[in-house]
Structure 1
Amino acid sequence: MKQIYLAGIMALTILYLSPLAAQEKKFTELTREEILGDFDLIVSILQKQHPNICKFTDSVTFRHQTDSLRKTITQHTDFYTLLTNLPNYLVRDAHLSLRLSNDYNREVFAALQYFPLPVIIERGRMFVNIKGASIPFGSEITGINDVTVTDILKKLASHSASDGYISTGTDRMYDDFQFYYSLTAPGVTSYRVSYIAPGSNDIRRNTLAAVSPATAFQTKYQRTLPLNLLQRAYNIYADYLEKDQTGLLTVNTFSLGETEAYKEFSTFFREVNKRKYKQVIIDIRSNGGGDPGISALLYSFLATQPFRNVYNYRTKTIDIAYPEYVVDNNNRRVSEEDIRNNRNFFYQRFDKDSSGFYKGNARLMEGLLENFPPDKDSFHGRVFILTGGGTVSAATYFASLVQQNKRGTIVGKETGSGEASTTASWFLHYLLPGTKSILTIPRTEVYFFNATRDNGHGVIPDQEIPLPAFVQYFQAGKDPELSYVLEKMQ
């Protein structure tokens, strides 16, 4: 069964986590007081616990916007309305999320009727991503139920999990578009779809029946893109493209121990050097981040000289708001001793500066290797890095290391989290008393390269594939970014 996450709206992933306590009532039986109570608690936690809630907004705007969301929920007071009007997205933080309890997750998933087609979303346009359906594969969808794709994506994109003003969060959304979109329209039994078939300029129309959860789940796994499902099934996967004399390393996470990471990286680069390949491609399009130290470790295999590996953490508060609602990774209430130890950790390692923020001190940053040397097996040929909206946190830091040191070409789209900073580390999990959902909130920001300001954007690629070329590759059933590098950038 799917486990539903919400970052603004929601992000559905195939992770089965430790179950919360069984619900005593159906999600349709949640009371007005329980729904509004959880909404108000989320707002208060964000205000008191978020490390920098006003980075991309201000307190007055945030209050007005949350009041507007609350008014919408009050008018309907059902669980669907809460899930589609969460205040998380107002903060513009890629690391905020809300997870439903297993019981409510199953109930919500089973109660909906779904849009029947998996899609690709690319730069504000939507394409059918399955073969053999009643609408041809690769067709561009222009509207659904008399609403333009532009307006549909505008509504959904405002809730997508990205930092600041980044718009590529739809890269993480389209994989589960059927579920996102269907949740905003519960009770819909059919979808009037307007589309343009490949090779045509005419807008055609077709009415498709909504499908069951089982069918929607099945069609998701019948989609054509992404093609690299095998590579995405592992933390790190190495390919050696002998025909192209290219090493391809897919790195899906930096949440790795140094020993494991070094073994994988060194094995790949030793083999690339042994084969005397002239170029490598590193795919981090689906890398959700982790330890920036592991990002620096990977970059050391590309570096031609020692490089600066500098970052620090800061937060508006070192205290814990509402400790009575905090749970551990197994969803158990944390003890008073755990809360006390956590407070002591932050008290000892963060010092308040003149701006009113707490900044990590020497004790926190002890052991950070700031002047990082190249690895003995470092690669000296051409380097291409594939990025997109799924490139988040420590993965963005890795892309930034490559770009700032002019050591490779970034190909794809803007990363999903900030180039200068993002939230990270020491996450707190709050069990909301009404809906039994888990709100996860980061305790600190991480600032890269001693940054003093954040313009709200990620790493901008050196080369974005022209949209016609992207569509052409996609309709031919090819990986657009990888194909573009191999065919056009040699």
Structure 2
Amino acid sequence: MKKTILYLLISVNYFNFSFSQEKKATKDLKKDLEIIRDITLQLSTKLTKEDKINLNNFFEVKASELKKDSLTIIDFFNFIFDSKINSKFDEHAAFNIPEDVMMPFLKNNTVFPIPIKVINKKLIVNSKKTSIPYGSIIESINDVNISDLYKRLMREGEHETYDYKMFESQFSLVYLLRIGNPNQFKITYRKSLNDSQILKTTIDGIKIEDYLNVMNNERIYPLHRKELRNQINTNYFTDSNTYYLQFNSFNWIESETENSYLEFNKLLDSTFNDIKHKKTENLIIDLRFNSGGNIEIPALLYSYIAKSPFIDNVIGKINHFNFPHTEHIIAASEVVIDENNTLPGFIEYIKQGAEKIGDQYIIKYIDNKTINPKENAFKGNVYLLIGGNTISASAYFSSQFKLNQRGEIIGEQIGGSHHEITAGYSLEYKLPTSNLTMTIPILVLSLSDEVYKKVPEKKITPNVTLSEKTRYNYFIKEEDPEIMETLKIINKK
């Protein structure tokens, strides 16, 4: 099924919402709510018995609050958004809506026209082609100050780096869906971080086609966006004898292949031969835009920087195959369910590689395997860059890096946890009334006990962080904050 490129990720532990304005009968939307409840209670692997009791009571209360005769899908979205569904799903879970449903709504409205960058919760103008100067700090929009705007656009509670990365990339869409379409935006702002003078202006909203052009062509950050589509990017800083290696995905994206592990190994072997040939002293590994992929690749990459043998252990667990509401399952692990690809066939495929222990199915992807450093493994100084988009398998690599104290970790707290990663296999449901689709992971990955013992924090935090002022100054100069700070550290040694 075709999905929109304009999805909305919001911190509600279910994600990716977008909507049409067609009204739906509330009694039918309550059925959708019941399906959401059943899916959550039966498939969220991290819920305790107490969690399930509380959630069941919660859904009963929420159903009683749906009192109008009908709601638009946007109304239903805001109803779900304002709810505090403690599903305990991670960033792999999603709500989606097809493009043919979403686009008519977007085309009939205008959106906030200015790309923004979030620095320490401040909204910074992220374009040089607007009437407000690049780097200006937005203080309010339509008489709502930014702190109150956060409360209206994001759920209550503590927000993490992943939430802010999603928020800054989709601010205009979030604003439209949560607040509406004002056509014009009254903005107060300061020209710089140190400027105390408050200025005012009014700007018009823009159509979705113009918004896409702005986001694709007029944003300054992220820098070098086209290069982020590459598997890896490299650079060599001669002055400091430093090799830069940006790894953007642990899924093989260069070409079709039957064995991505071998392709990754060839790529890494060639890269680290080049590192060795240059007699490199310092290596920067950048995972700030790596959202994961093949769970075997983190250990492979680490073997090219390891100084001694290490243990790799990745065990998958599926609690059961008694999936609720199978009549609404439309895809399994992105494969459309039809006469050729059936749900029983999908289940049987998983069972063939799993061991049944009690009611659970266990998949031993890597079973306490001792991995030796590669012959051309780099033995010098290593610096790891992480951030809010570092999730899933790249979170696992970060934990292995920290476990073995391989070097400095620089940037922001990672967006995903290495504790019980939900990935691998998933189901996609289509709700019968709202047509929202839910992507639900059914596999939980566990790592070695040593990782959890020595890296106990939920999400890895770097030992070198950057202040608001430092980040802002690099932003103004259009330089990469983490890379520049890392080079400073290297040059001081």
TM-score range, shorter chain: 0.7 to 0.9
CA RMSD of superposed structures (Å):
3.1
Amino acid at match of 2:45: P
Give structure 1 stretches of 5+ with no counterpart.
14-22
CA-CA distance at 1:334 after TM superposition: 4.4
- TM-score with structure 1 setting the length: 0.86
Report matched runs for 1:61-460 at 5 Å.
61-63=54-56, 65-66=58-59, 70=63, 74-75=67-68, 77-84=71-78, 85-86=80-81, 90-92=86-88, 93-158=90-155, 166-198=160-192, 199-221=194-216, 222-256=218-252, 257-328=260-331, 332-334=336-338, 338-344=342-348, 349-352=354-357, 358=360, 360=362, 364-365=363-364, 368=367, 370-450=369-449, 457-460=458-461
Q: Provide the rounded CA distance (Å) in 2 between the counterparts of 1:69 and 1:239.
A: 53
- TM-score with structure 2 setting the length: 0.85
Match of 1:16 in 2: none
Q: Provide the rounded CA distance (Å) in 2 between the counterparts of 1:327 and 1:273.
A: 49
Match of 2:37 in 1: 43
Q: Percent identity?
A: 21
Change in CA separation of 1:399 and 1:330 when aligned onto 2, cut-off 3 Å: closer
Match of 1:17 in 2: none
* Maintained 8 Å contact 1:115/1:181: yes
Match of 2:255 in 1: none
Q: Provide the rounded CA distance (Å) in 1 between the counterparts of 2:414 and 2:152.
A: 21
Change in CA separation of 1:337 and 1:254 when aligned onto 2, cut-off 3 Å: closer
With 408-417 and 195-204 compared, the bigger mean Cα shift is at 195-204
* Maintained 8 Å contact 2:15/2:93: no
CA-CA distance at 1:297 after TM superposition: 0.5
CA-CA distance at 1:206 after TM superposition: 2.2
Q: Provide the rounded CA distance (Å) in 1 between the counterparts of 2:434 and 2:9.
A: 13
Structure 1 residues 71-120: Cα deviation after superposition (integer angstroms, max 9, x where no partner): 66655721112334257963242111011112112123223321111101
Q: Provide the rounded CA distance (Å) in 2 between the counterparts of 1:442 and 1:423.
A: 6
* Maintained 8 Å contact 1:51/1:314: no
With 434-443 and 57-66 compared, the bigger mean Cα shift is at 57-66
SS for the counterpart of 2:474 is helix
Give structure 2 stretches of 5+ with no counterpart.
253-259
Structure 1 residues 121-159: Cα deviation after superposition (integer angstroms, max 9, x where no partner): 123222110113121111112222232322333444439
Q: Provide the rounded CA distance (Å) in 1 between the counterparts of 2:119 and 2:48.
A: 30
Structure 1 residues 1-46: Cα deviation after superposition (integer angstroms, max 9, x where no partner): 7342556475599xxxxxxxxx9xx742444344443233222211
CA-CA distance at 1:366 after TM superposition: 5.8
Amino acid at match of 1:187: N
SS for the counterpart of 2:461 is coil
